[in-house]
Amino acid sequence: MVSALVCRPLAISVRSSAPASALPLAGGPLAFSACEAIRRPAPGRIERSTVATAELIEQAIGERWASAPEAWELLDRLSNPRPAFAGLGMSRPRVMGVINVTPDSFSDGGDHFEPGRAIEAGLAMREAGAAILDVGGESTRPGAEPVPAEEEMRRVMPVVRGLAKAGALVSIDSRRSVVMRAALEAGARIVNDVTGLTGDPVSLGAVAQSGAAVVLMHMQGEPRSMQKAPRYEDVALDVYDWLEARVAACEAAGIARARIAVDPGIGFGKTMAHNLQLLEQLALFHGLGCPVVLGVSRKSFIGKISGESEAKRRLAGSLAAALAGLERGAQIVRVHDVAETAQAFAVWQAIVEAKPEPPAQAVA
């Protein structure tokens, strides 16, 4: 695969203490003073170079690093503030609470299977700090079998209606256009599709027509087989290129970039090594000019690292991975443990926004 120039922000620090030459990272509280410029000029060949942001700008002005339009567009996408996503400001990290209305999801299957319990749990998540409530009726865990559309609708629609009626910002986690449309009509405002609007030939047009926001997630393969020896030339670049193509397809269909968020799909057709590489290189995805969504909560790679086989006992590892995402500029983090995550985020935000005390005045 041949790809255009991409840039991974490096030397990321708090903006208030960053060098004067640093650029803001997606307009948030962090800044980067260097980046890794990456090109794939031919299949199997990757060229990388590390440049300071000051040099990067100088080379762009002089058209020595890349064509000026390409370089400036990339710099703008990396540094400009993100517009509100589904009406939600992106100036600070947001928590997306997971509501699986399923009997077989990997970590909470059955917990919210009854609609009344699911609505109650969702409202409790909102009270605890979830800005978005993500409702799904089909498990996409590794090895999961598809659920008929009628059953998926039966599971999610009462929950979507109940939460939307209560004023919550609801996301529908589905890969079927019929479910997306029904949920949007019932008050959902975001579509979260693990196939990046490729799993249903009608879904791209349905979302474009609706005016809803959309989360495009990367998945290699499909849930039944995605963990059977997934392979990449370079996982971060391959996922970036795929998401870039999906963003372009959405724009061509009439979905403005301001309506799009991207998710690299941790655990969806990736080995543990792939997951760790994606997390470490997460800042790369800001080059797409969209909010970055990160889903790491309770996932199996945390269990493999920690030795914890019980998904519900992976809170500490989930928080560590989520905070690593914040340190790389993630704007939305999808979690099961909302209260604990919201508390961790509030402390992180307070630290990055802390102002240095003025020097003490000398006593005459």
Q: What is the pLDDT of residues 29-85, one digit of tens each?
A: 999 999 998 988 888 899 999 989 888 777 666 655 555 567 778 889 999 999 999
Residue 166 is encoded by which pair of tokens? 């209560």
pLDDT at 73: 82
Task: Give residue 355's Cα distance to chain centre.
Answer: 29
> How far is Cα 243 from Cα 282, in angstroms, rounded to an integer?
13
pLDDT digits (tens, 9 = 90+) for 164-174: 999 999 999 99
Give catalytic status of residue 299 as yes or no.
Answer: yes
Of 94, 298, 299, 328, catalytic: 299
pLDDT at 364: 56
Q: Which residues neighbour 94 within 8 Å (Cβ) at sequence distance 6 or greater? A: 88, 131, 132, 331, 332, 333
Instruction: Report pTM.
Output: 0.92
What is the pLDDT confidence band of residue 103, given thresholds at 50, 70 and 90? confident
pLDDT at 225: 63
Give catalytic status of residue 92 as yes or no.
Answer: no
What separation in angstroms does the CA of 337 have from each of 62, 137, 138, 317?
49, 19, 20, 12
Residue 282 has pLDDT above 70, yes or no: yes
Instruction: Write out the residue limits of the CATH 3.20.20.20 domain(s) in the chain.
Output: 94-350
What is the pLDDT confidence band of residue 152, given thresholds at 50, 70 and 90? very high
Find out whether 153 and 132 touch, Cβ atoms under 8 Å. no
Phi, then psi, of 65 in degrees rounded to 5? -90, -40
Find out whether 187 and 233 touch, Cβ atoms under 8 Å. no
Provide the percentage of residues in the chain whose pLDDT is more than 90.
75
Residue 160 has pLDDT above 60, yes or no: yes
Architecture of domain 94-350: Alpha-Beta Barrel (3.20)
**Cα angle for residues 305, 309, 313 (degrees, 5° grid):** 90
Strand partners, 8: 36
Residue 12 is encoded by which pair of tokens? 């990321």
What is the pLDDT confidence band of residue 144, given thresholds at 50, 70 and 90? low
Dihedral of CA atoms 167, 193, 217, 97 in degrees, nearest 10, equals 30
Weakest mean pLDDT among 89-103, 109-123, 249-263, 277-291: 109-123
Instruction: Give SS3 for 230.
Output: coil
Task: Find the largest Cα–Cα distance for the chain.
Answer: 80
**Amino acid type, 274:** H
Of 155, 161, 270, 334, catalytic: 334
Phi, then psi, of 8 in degrees rounded to 5? -105, 115
What is the pLDDT confidence band of residue 262, given thresholds at 50, 70 and 90? very high
Residue 101 is encoded by which pair of tokens? 């209305």
